């Protein structure tokens, strides 16, 4: 096999990049989406042998304020529609609710 990257590897990398850009952990993403922490961890590690549900893709896209296709963007530098400052404010607000 040549050096092609699988779609699950691209998705996993982009999920990790988006989480890093927003400085959020799996537990915070779980709070934002309702997706289980184990599923988030499996997706971010590329360990979803059975595939991924469209509803999960939709929840993640909503959480990151991006198009679902952005999660499959081959070039991580091209990730668009991510409003980091808006989401940092939202995440800050979620943290304040926990206090």
> Looking at the domain assignment, is residue 81 inside a domain?
yes
Residue 2 within a domain: no
Give a yes or no: residue 29 inside a domain. Answer: yes
Work out how many domains the chain is built from and give that number.
1
CATH assignment at residue 36: 1.10.260.40
So what's the pLDDT on residue 99? Answer: 47
Residue 72 placed within a domain? yes
Q: What is the DSSP string of 48-99?
A: -TT---HHHHHHHHHHHTS-GGGGG-SSGGG--S--HHHHHHHHHHHHHHH-
What confidence tens digit (pLDDT) does each residue in 10-40 have? 899 999 989 998 899 999 999 999 999 999 9
Looking at the domain assignment, is residue 15 inside a domain?
Answer: yes
DSSP letter at 72? G
Residue 26 lies in a domain: yes
Task: State the Cα–Cα distance between residues 56 and 28, nearest whole angstrom.
Answer: 15
The model's pLDDT over 36-61, given as tens digits with 9 standing for 90+, comes to 999 999 999 988 767 889 999 999 99
Domain span holding position 76: 7-98
Sorted by sequence, the CB contacts under 8 Å of residue 45 that are 6+ apart come out as 12
How many degrees, rounded to 5, is the angle at CA 87 between CA 59 and CA 95? 95
pTM across the whole model: 0.74
Residue 1 lies inside a defined structural domain of this protein: no
């Amino acid at each position: 096999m040549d050096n092609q990257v699988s779609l699950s590897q691209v998705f996993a990398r982009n999920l990790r990049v988006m989480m890093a850009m927003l400085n959020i952990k799996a537990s915070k993403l779980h709070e934002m989406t309702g997706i289980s922490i184990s599923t988030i961890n499996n997706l971010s590690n590329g360990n979803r042998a059975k595939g991924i549900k469209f509803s999960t893709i939709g929840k993640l896209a909503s959480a990151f304020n991006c198009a679902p296709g952005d999660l499959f963007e081959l070039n991580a530098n091209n990730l668009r529609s991510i409003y980091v400052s808006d989401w940092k404010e939202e995440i800050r607000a979620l943290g304040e609710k926990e206090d």
